[in-house]
Structure 1
Amino acid sequence: MTTKAYGAQAADKSLEPMTIERRQPGLHDVQIEIAYCGVCHSDLHTVRSEWAGTLYPCVPGHEIVGHVTAIGAEVTDFRVGETVGVGCLVDSCQHCDSCHDGLEQFCENGWTGTYNSPTKDAPGHTLGGYSQRIVVSDKFVLKIRHPEEQLAAVAPLLCAGITTYSPLRHWEAGPGKTVGIVGIGGLGHMGIKIAHAMGAHTVAFSTSESKRADALKLGADEVIISKDPAEMAKHKNRFDLILDTVGSSHNLDAYTTLLKRDGTLCLIGVPEHPHPTPSIEPLIFGRRAIAGSLIGGIAETQEMLDFCAEKGIVSDIELIRAQEIDTAYDRMVKSDVKYRFVIDIASLAS
């Protein structure tokens, strides 16, 4: 089955229209007509081969929202016409300890990404959501309960939403907890919204005074300008959890010293170069921890979507046509978006 898509043939080539193959739905498959696909910084890194191992042709996209158009004979949880989503995962081994625990993102035998992962389907690796349709195992399809008019802004929840929700949930953000969010971008703006909705006292960290008003509007109770050492020093031993969303190398000591005893600095941004080695003393003398977190499993992603639907949470987006994707990538590099681009997949028809 052929479908229109947008992708790159090489790292130094612009994204362009292409025709790709999708398998016919098997017994446990769901076929989805894609309406919207969010644009993640991972898409840019992969397309431009800034991370090792890009397979071409590369069709990115793992923040997918659409409608079911066909189901396999043994699919029972979905029906034609239903609004659904697909995130970063489309398969895992299903038998390791992590998979048994519903933590497919930590599959010990390697999970299958929505794009750029080996697969039996042509062309030998997965092709993502910058396309008109996709076929996915029913175990990795999610129900979307937001209203139709919000669907474009729901798409980034499938990556940015779950990437921030999972650590907030794991470290029990909520009433009585003080949570910091470092960086006010695609991930950070979702972290602020979700932490606030969970009932935590939410503090945004930004290097820029100009982002103070935006952070407060997103739901932050306070804003700290992180490049001001005197201001940072006022908040030592204060935070239960700090979620660091920044995707560039920086000094972690500035944040570990702000943690309470037994507090955690959780890293979810992947820097282009390793962070400077953190000082050990703040960790030892406060039993503090530096940890990491990766998206979420399917059950937790469904929980996040339901939570966001209940609370009325969506991403702040700029809707674009597929033909504008290279310009969008260039703007992402400059942080010139508030806060996520989303592709209107209807534009592929032209």
Structure 2
Amino acid sequence: MKTTASNPRMARGYATAGADQPLRPFTFERRSPNDEDVVIDIAYCGVCHSDVHAAHNAWGMSHYPMVPGHEITGVVREVGKAVARFKKGDRVGIGCFIDSCTTQGHRDRDHEHYLPGLVLTYNGFEPGSKAPTLGGYSDSIVVKEGYVLSVPEALPLDAAAPLLCAGVTVYSPLRKWQVGPGAKVAIVGLGGLGHVAVKMARAMGAEVTVLSRTLKKRDDALKLGAKAVFATESPATFADLASAFDLVLSTVSGDVDWNAYLGLIRLDGTFITVGVPDGPVPVSAFPLIVGRRRLAGSYMGSIKETQEMLDFCARHGVTADIEIIAIQDINTAFARVAKSDVRYRFVIDLASLDKEGRAS
């Protein structure tokens, strides 16, 4: 379809119509681009565990029909006349949100993801509108220039896609707590987030230990850069590693005994969670008090920080370990993600949409 300022864009993708429904082919209209917008042909989109949660309404906040996907890479098709940073053909990415600070007096570029007025890439609403935001399980997207990331040439578009959520989600706390040479860091969980966290912490100069439920992924962890791997199903692990780490970063969403992990932290050290357990987690004051330890959380990253992360990854050769899938296999992929049966991130090749012609 020829693009004009008043002509809605038709897009193809996959959507779910409800919490108990599979994802199916879906044709919909993208908004017409404004002067400050970038129109992107999507090449790849990562499959985040939160996509599964959102599609199934696990958090009770889902809107349908839903086109998931917030780990998007692609190529600029065209730009509005006010766009200065991008041009046709540029390699770009879109992460977890497409606008921010919409209820504030100005944009806070350092803390925008923590402030009211955040517009999520999918399962949200366009500013000042009841139109839903629809994500990256589709062939195109229209986004304001200020929320578009530049993907360095050193990063392949497919393996870079998961960095737009998984990457910045672990990069942000590692940077915030100043992980660097000599730091002793433990990563809890070796999944989509954890495997990237190991690579990033190692690239920052830290000595990295992986704490996984079993030792099944020991060889993988060592290849990724970990110095040691311990099984958390063994009580001896928590005794042997008492007060061993400056920082423990938990990437898991399952049941975790935070009190036990706090015991692994040195004086003035920090336990950070980026995973979201399904229910409340009891915490005792004693393990916090005796080591002047901190318990903290972290939530993705700003656009500024996400670009910093991409540039860091390009310099250090950090990408996600991926399994490419066709969009037609997305429901199988969702089932495998729910069982942690992926090493370590599914990425959808959106060219696969062409195999079925125009979706309906």
Specify which of 252, 262, 265 is matched with residue 258 of structure 2.
252
The 1-side partners of 2:49 and 2:327 are apart by 16
Matches within 5 A, 1:43-62: 43-62=51-70
Asked if the contact 1:27–1:73 (Cα under 8 Å) also holds between the matched residues in 2, the reply is yes
Query: 1:5 is matched with which residue?
Result: 13
Query: 1:132 is matched with which residue?
Result: 139
Q: 1:28 to 1:97 in 2, by over 3 A?
A: closer
Unmatched 5+ stretches in structure 2? 1-8, 356-360
Query: 1:38 is matched with which residue?
Result: 46
2:102 corresponds to 1:77: no
Asked if the contact 1:248–1:273 (Cα under 8 Å) also holds between the matched residues in 2, the reply is no
- Aligned-CA RMSD value: 1.6
The 2-side partners of 1:80 and 1:181 are apart by 40
Kindly tell me the number of residue pairs found equivalent between the two proteins: 347
Deviation at 1:147, TM superposition (A): 3.9
TM-score (norm. length: structure 1): 0.96
Specify which of 5, 18, 35 is matched with residue 27 of structure 1.
35
Specify which of 116, 121, 132 is matched with residue 114 of structure 1.
121
2:283 corresponds to 1:270: no
Query: What is the identity percentage for the equivalent residue pairs of Structure 1 and Structure 2?
Result: 49
Deviation at 1:110, TM superposition (A): 2.8
Deviating more after overlay: 227-236 vs 246-255: 227-236
For the residue of structure 1 that corresponds to 2:301, the secondary structure is coil
The 2-side partners of 1:64 and 1:145 are apart by 14
Matches within 5 A, 1:82-161: 82-93=90-101, 96=104, 99-107=107-115, 109-119=116-126, 124-147=131-154, 150-161=156-167
* Residues 59-110 of structure 1 deviation map (CA, whole Å, 9 limit, x = unaligned): 0000000000111111101111000000001001267599425221112x23
The 1-side partners of 2:354 and 2:326 are apart by 11
The 2-side partners of 1:262 and 1:97 are apart by 37
TM-score (norm. length: structure 2): 0.93
Name the amino acid aligned to 2:97: L
The 2-side partners of 1:35 and 1:129 are apart by 9
2:168 corresponds to 1:162: yes
For the residue of structure 2 that corresponds to 1:154, the secondary structure is helix
Deviation at 1:223, TM superposition (A): 1.0
Specify which of 229, 232, 240 is matched with residue 226 of structure 1.
232
The 2-side partners of 1:295 and 1:254 are apart by 25
Query: 1:318 is matched with which residue?
Result: 323
Name the amino acid aligned to 1:222: A
Unmatched 5+ stretches in structure 1? none
Deviation at 1:123, TM superposition (A): 6.9
For the residue of structure 2 that corresponds to 1:209, the secondary structure is coil
Deviation at 1:325, TM superposition (A): 0.4
Asked if the contact 1:25–1:70 (Cα under 8 Å) also holds between the matched residues in 2, the reply is no
